[in-house]
Structure 1
Amino acid sequence: MDTTSDRSRQWQWPQWILRAAAIYNLVWGTWVILFPHHLFDWTGVARLNHPGIWQAVGMIVGVYGIGYWIASSNVLRHWPIVLVGFLGKIFGPIGFLGAALRGELPWSWGATILTNDLIWWLPFAAILYGVFKIHSDPASRIPSVTRGSLEQAADAILPRPQSSNGKSIDSLSRDQPILLVFIRHAGCTFCRETLAVLATRLNEIRGLGLEPVVVHMSSLEEGERLLLSHGLHDTTHISDPGCVLYRHYQLERGTVSQLFGPAVWWKGFQAAILRGHGVGRLSGDGFQLGGAAIVDQGRTVQVFPAANATTSLPIASELRTTLQCAAPIPKAL
């Protein structure tokens, strides 16, 4: 089943942006082909001896218009066309700036750069950001007709969670209350910082009667190496590449501000550089936020969703208060 077509029909605003860009490119390209001297005359630049060169530029711009119109029909499938156009709209102004500084082109040509390139930066960047966010979501592989039941769809399509000791969350929580620690993708510096903090707080958390269980999006083998590198030798972990558990516990995917806000950048610099956690390759859904959850006797006691990408473990007082006061809610997976 073609899930990209379904989602493209539901994601309407990029279609209108790309159609507007297509019409603009076709009109501008046709104008340059039919009247190659107009722009030169208006800006006081000497006419070209060989206007066919400039007309070829108009042809290229017009062909991009056809590409944008095609991309508008299914941007999730034809996003490379948008990417190529976006790169052209970045490099074009760079080239103009160099030529203007050398005195080869008048600054008045900047009006063309404004309408051809600059005004499209934000909408094209937003389209590409949205495409990447949708394609990186494991749930994007679920056909829209099956979305009424995430569990049924996940059973059929998404990889199911696997624990390092073969036990389910329900089984683990029957032995003693557990603290599920949901980390972001393994390359994220905040993921690594969370594991480092967990290693230093193991005795404190276990002293509260909780057994930590790390949930990650990597394979069991990758997860094992990641935990061992942070000294978590005897900590159970669960591989959840389909983010089934993240969704079950209603942990959100981040917004732009939650993932890339100024505070996130600053804390990321502190974690990666000053505290030495570094960064790695993307392994999992880069938009998925982390969090934590207490599960006891197969029941979810409390969920602690992350406010943004930097959020680490709940503090001891939060855990202690939750254990004392919170009433159990939905059954765990």
Structure 2
Amino acid sequence: MSLDGIALFRGDVKTALREATGGEPTLLVLLRHSGCPLCREHLVVTEGMLNEIPAGRCKVVGICQGEGGDALSLEQELELSFPVYANPDASLYRELSLPRGSWWQVTLGPMLRHPLKAVRRMSDVRRPGKDVRQLGGVVLLSSDLKVLYRYAQRDSGDLPGDDKVLAAINQFCN
């Protein structure tokens, strides 16, 4: 797995993944797509979790499909204190072996398991990214871009618990 050549975009600015991490351990929150209400909710939850991460342990970076403008709009709309970058060619998703889901995994399954939540969230669906079946995840990278922790979504409603993410940060980022 080589993460060195991964290009990210924020607005009109192209940035290498290594530059986006600033050579620090980094928690990547990879969204299914920027139009997904669950994904936007996950970014807001991550923002709320920031005060539980000891200062200087790791950076947090959001990653979405789409274009750099989509990433910047998402960051500004949600008033996030961490940057969101776009990975339009989904190369980062492929390098991290994040799966593509079936239609069941990205739509029907989560809707049938939690119908009231699904109805509430459907009112906030936006223009989808390039691949609505691409699942996201949470990945903790070392300062030299090695994967320390990886959680791949099993469906669009599947996210790791904050306790698991914080435990990984505490274990690997001293």
Change in Cα spacing, 1:166 to 1:280, as seen in structure 2 (3 Å) is: closer
Residue in 1 that maps onto 2:147: 300
Question: 2:72: which partner in 1?
Answer: 224
Q: CA deviation at 1:213?
A: 0.5
Q: Which runs of 5+ in 2 are unaligned?
A: none
The alignment partner of 1:260 has SS state of helix
Which structure shows the bigger proportion of residues in helix conformation?
A: 1
Please state if 1:288 is matched with 2:134: yes
| 2:99 paired with 1:252 | yes
Q: Is the 8 A contact 2:24 2:59 kept in 1?
A: yes
Contact 1:186 1:192 in 2 (8 A): yes
1:81-107 Cα deviation digits (max 9, x unpaired): xxxxxxxxxxxxxxxxxxxxxxxxxxx
Identify the residue that residue 178 of structure 1 maps to in structure 2.
Answer: 26
TM-superposed deviation, 1:281: 2.0
Q: Distance in 2 between matches of 1:208 and 1:320?
A: 14
Post-superposition offset of 1:172: 4.2
Shift of 1:317: 2.7
Q: 1:321 to 1:202 in 2, by over 3 A?
A: closer
Distance in 2, matches of 1:187 and 1:167, equals 22
Alpha-carbon distance, 1:166 to partner: 5.2
Q: Percent identity?
A: 23
- Would you say the 8 A contact 2:70–2:86 is kept in 1? no
Residue aligned with 1:285, SS: coil
Q: Judging changes above 3 Å, is the alpha-carbon distance between structure 1 residues 272 and 210 closer, same or farther for their aligned structure 2 residues? A: farther
Partner-residue secondary structure (3-state), 1:197: helix
Whether 1:190 and 2:38 are equivalent positions in the alignment is yes
Residues 268/203 of structure 1: CA separation in 2 closer, same or farther (3 Å cut): farther
Higher strand share: 2
Deviations 1:59-96 (A, max 9, x none): xxxxxxxxxxxxxxxxxxxxxxxxxxxxxxxxxxxxxx
Separation of aligned partners in 2, 1:268 and 1:190: 14
Distance 1:261 1:276 in 2: 12
Secondary structure at the counterpart of residue 167 of structure 2: helix
Aligned pairs for 1:272-283 within 5 A:
273=120, 278-283=124-129
Listed as ranges, the matches of 1:110-149 within 5 Å are none
Partners of 2:171 and 2:155 lie apart in 1 by: 26
Gaps of 5+ in 1: 1-149, 327-333
Is the CA contact 2:26–2:143 (under 8 Å) kept in the aligned structure 1?
no
Give the secondary structure class of the aligned counterpart of 2:100: coil
> What's the secondary structure of 1:287's corresponding residue?
coil
- CA offset at residue 308 of structure 1? 0.9
Alpha-carbon distance in structure 2 between the residues aligned to 1:268 and 1:202: 30
Tell me: CA distance 1:220–1:235, structure 2 relative to 1, closer, same or farther (3 Å).
same
Contact 1:290-1:311 within 8 A present in 2 as well: no
What does the per-residue CA deviation read over 1:95-135, in whole Å, with 9 as the maximum and x for residues that have no partner? xxxxxxxxxxxxxxxxxxxxxxxxxxxxxxxxxxxxxxxxx
- Code of the residue aligned with 2:37 in structure 1: it is T
Within the alignment, does 1:264 sit opposite 2:108 as a pair?
no
Aligned-pair CA distance for 1:174: 5.1
CA distance in 2, matches of 1:279, 1:185: 10
Deviation at 1:221, TM superposition (A): 1.2
- Look up the equivalent residue of 1:211 and give its one-letter code: K
Task: Please tell me whether residue 242 in structure 1 is matched to residue 89 in structure 2.
Answer: yes
The DSSP-based 3-state class of the residue aligned with 1:198 is: helix
Residues 223 and 265 (structure 1), Cα distance of their counterparts in 2 relative to 1, 3 Å cut: farther
Conserved 8 A contact 1:271-1:278: no
Given candidates 155, 164, 167, the residue that maps to 1:321 is 167
Aligned residues: 168
Bigger relative contact order (CA 8 A; separation at least 6): 2
1:201 is aligned to 49
CA RMSD after TM alignment: 3.0
